[in-house]
Chain A
């Protein structure tokens, strides 16, 4: 089964270790390879990108490796890609035109 890794138990996202397509069931593993959850991808998510492990509310922090890495700018349901289309930096944002380019290059299906 395809896998994604949750780097810290408090994280609300996990990082895909392979490319996944919409409808794929993904095993969520801990850093010690324990399977801790199974999540269904609501959209295509490529290797190295993050899938939401819980329903994340608008303005809620995104936590990876135990640290807040950004804030949700809309509700992100469990199974969706958490990335530039629905998450912003709290420190220094990527310019809007660059975000558009990233979304285009990655062919992110917008909710």
Chain B
């Protein structure tokens, strides 16, 4: 594979593989305004907070917006608010400016309404686009990449073909010096003993076990039972929850776990050094895309039967081992493993090569057309309090 890529240099020293301008609406009332502004530039992407325009209890979502604004693939940000809600857009814009990125904010009511805000917003978006175009092109080693690892739309082929292939690719990328981050702690129930052995320290092992336990408790509260195994899973060949979890685990490779990155209203942890990490990135696909963006990921490796999840900020490389569900959305065909025609090692090499191509600017199969909504996930603070979790410790 290629050992370096020409990326877009940012003031904070990071290098992006894409050059996006984010238009962020801190309340849903500004979504239409944000879209009108984003449509006026080539590389505009909308992120809207649909949770609530109230501030109290939504700090986790604000954190995710701020850290997404600081993603290396982002050149600059415009933050919008209607003006009647509680969230001052500067709460998002000011911390982004600390990274050296331009971040403007507009309040619709102060701008004398929607049309005036769109006019002013378009002018600011143009300015941000010029900043993006002026970003210095920097030759960057592949080892500087941060890669999210995720599965979705899984089927019986995932545990045999796509997940082990991604796991092997993750090992290769980590060995090259890159950083890989997996999330979906709910999918790792039953794997705690194995994961503890991979943790770099007893502290990380304890943190890992605690956060998996919390995620299990969060999704299994009385009155809201969650199916961990469907009849379809079992008919497809999965016998136990452990088997399902270990299938998901195989996409994380085998390298030491440096830390488990917490995402909550007090902290938003990011990798401090290269290596493999777990994180609280959710198992819900759309929201996971934003979580990985906020953790600083450049791209995502995503295993599936045949679905086509996408994220407009962080390119998604899709890998499937199911020959019956393969379609043009899938970037890496791992079905040769299921037909006993290709090995895991060989598919892993193709995945690593694809990472190099996408880092260099090569588009994923549906990057331009597969727009998917930028979901902002946050834990319900009332539930967290009832479960007596202690965030940030």
Which residues of A line the B interface, CB within 8 A?
3, 5, 7, 15-17, 29, 31-33, 46-50, 62, 64-65, 67-70, 82-84, 87-92, 94, 98, 101-102, 105-106
Contacts and interface: CB of A to CB of B under 8 A. Distances in A.
Contacts of B240: 69-70, 87-91, 94
Interface string B339-376: 11111110000000000000000000000000000000
A68 B250 CA distance: 13
Interface of B: 156-157, 159-160, 164, 189-191, 194, 228-229, 231, 234-237, 239-243, 246-247, 249-250, 337-345
Nearest to B216: A92
Contacts of B341: 33
Nearest to A89: B240
Contacts of B340: 3, 5, 17, 29, 33
Nearest to B236: A48
Contact of A67 (B229, B246, B344): B246
Contacts of B228: 92
A94 B234 contact: yes
A105 B243 CA distance: 20
The CB with the most chain A CB atoms within 10 A, among B191, B239, B250, B343, is that of: B239
B241 A47 contact: no
A19 B195 CA distance: 34
Q: Which 9 A-B pairs have the closest CB atoms?
A: A48-B237, A48-B156, A89-B240, A69-B243, A70-B240, A32-B343, A67-B246, A49-B237, A91-B190
Contacts of B337: 5, 31
Contact of B242 (A3, A68, A83): A68
A107 B77 CA distance: 58
Which one of A3, A70, A92 has the highest number of Cβ atoms from chain B below 10 Å of its Cβ? A92
Nearest to B234: A102
A30 B72 CA distance: 40
A68 B241 CA distance: 11
B160 A5 contact: yes
A65 B234 contact: no
A76 B83 CA distance: 68
17 contacts: A17-B338, A33-B343, A64-B246, A65-B250, A67-B242, A67-B249, A69-B239, A69-B240, A70-B239, A70-B240, A89-B190, A89-B240, A91-B240, A94-B234, A98-B231, A102-B234, A105-B235
A62 B190 CA distance: 14
Contact of A17 (B194, B339, B344, B345): B339
Contacts of A7: 160, 164
Contacts of A50: 237, 239
A88 B239 CA distance: 8
Nearest to A82: B239
A92 B244 CA distance: 12
Contact of B164 (A46, A65, A83): A65
B164 A31 contact: yes
Given A33-B340, A33-B341, A64-B246, A47 B237 contact: yes
Contacts of B191: 67
B339 A87 contact: no
A97 to B, nearest CB: 11
B287 to A, nearest CB: 25
